[in-house]
A = this chain, B = another copy of it.
Amino acid sequence: MRPTPESHALTKPLVISIDAMGGDHGPPVVVPGVARACERLAGRDVRFLLHGDAARIEPELRRVETAACAAEVRHTASVVNMTDKPAYALRRSKGSSLWNAIESVKSGEADAVVSAGNTGALMAISRLVLRMLGGMDRPAIVASWPTNRGYSAVLDVGANVDSDARQLVQFAIMGAAFHRAVHGAARPTVGLLNVGVEDMKGHEEVREAHKLLSEAGLDIDYRGFVEGDDIAKGTVDVVVTDGFTGNVALKTAEGTARFISGLLKETLTSSLWAKLGALSAAPSLRRMRDRIDPRSINGGPLLGLNGIVVKSHGGTDAVGFANALKVAADLARSDYAAEIAANMERLSRVTAPVQATAV
């Protein structure tokens, strides 16, 4: 992991490395995103390394001058395509914008990397180049989920399709450190997603993870099982689940939100009276829309790696990309790696026998 935030803040600016060619749009979104991030991070000394085709990045930098002052272009001739399989990308993408952006973190030149590109390739190359944090089995993708009480961290939402009890406990450790760094809970509460809240509920992995989280002596405020409807309620700050269930839950929630927003739109244009009503309530409705704007939660870190890696949604715009950059900066400025290391040390004291019974 990079230097601790305290020492760091005194010695040199924060550097964020960007795969400028990633995502559906590349430089036309990335560069204005950098400009917005500069504004939002004003006062924090941050610089950006833009890896990619200089001939496409530089015209954008001339257009958006506020970005230019804080950005440096690192030319690369090749890119990883959105459709490349991870195994293919691993073999063939050395020297691409994505690979070099990750390499900047490995070399210590950058404190974090952000990409809106191919998720599978980002994960595979990050694992190879950066390696896992000490003791971690697999990375996890964390989502920031708007709730009645602010934001909750939900993980894993898609890095894995199966997770055993030990991995679920690791997700809990990473999720708590992430929430404190990015969403600011002093002592995040953690719940394990299940189909009921009684101890005997669920399949073997969640019951075993529940036992470990309850008994392993981790520095985590574990609150036991939660159910699907607890996520939006904000019952806990961190919701832990396997990547299959988490991915389905996240996409189901997105689908439900879109369905209801669609109904609302249809409703508020269905008659003259409804249209007048919508007009009258417009400022309030706009505030509501902002509250669930997917751009405001864009930026899903790949936790568990020996370096900070943040995935932006491929289709996002400059506002969303700037948010992903802010997530990366928050993580890079935090104690998150040290916190994870301390809990992993505690976990290692108890997991040897657990692994044996699980096999």
Q: Using a CB–CB distance below 8 Å, which chain A residues touch chain B?
A: 146-148, 158, 161-162, 193, 195, 201-203, 227-233, 241, 243-245, 247-264, 266-268, 270-271, 273-274, 276-285, 287-288, 291-292
Is there an interface contact between A273 and B281, defined as CB atoms closer than 8 Å? yes
Chain B residues within 8 Å of A267, by CB: 281, 284-285, 287-288
Q: Which of B252, B254, B277 contacts A276 (CB 8 A)?
A: B277
Report the 3 A-B pairs with minimum CB-CB distance, sorted nearest first. A228-B251, A277-B281, A229-B255
- Residue of A227, A231, A281 with highest tally of chain B CB at under 10 A: A281
Query: Is there contact, CB below 8 Å, between B229 and A252?
Result: yes
Q: Give chain B residues whose Cβ lies under 8 Å from the Cβ of A245.
A: 244-245, 248
Q: Which residues of B contact A162 (CB under 8 A)?
A: 203
Quote the shortest CB–CB distance from A207 to chain B (angstroms): 10
B227, B241, B266, B273: which contacts A280 (Cβ < 8 A)? B273
**A/B interface sample: 29 pairs, CB < 8 A:** A161-B195, A161-B202, A161-B203, A195-B248, A227-B248, A227-B251, A228-B251, A228-B253, A229-B251, A229-B258, A232-B258, A233-B255, A248-B248, A249-B249, A256-B257, A256-B260, A260-B261, A264-B264, A267-B284, A267-B287, A271-B284, A273-B283, A274-B285, A276-B281, A277-B278, A277-B279, A277-B280, A277-B284, A281-B281
Per the bound structure, the CA–CA distance linking A232 and B193 in Å amounts to 22
Bound-state Cα–Cα, A203 to B279, Å: 48
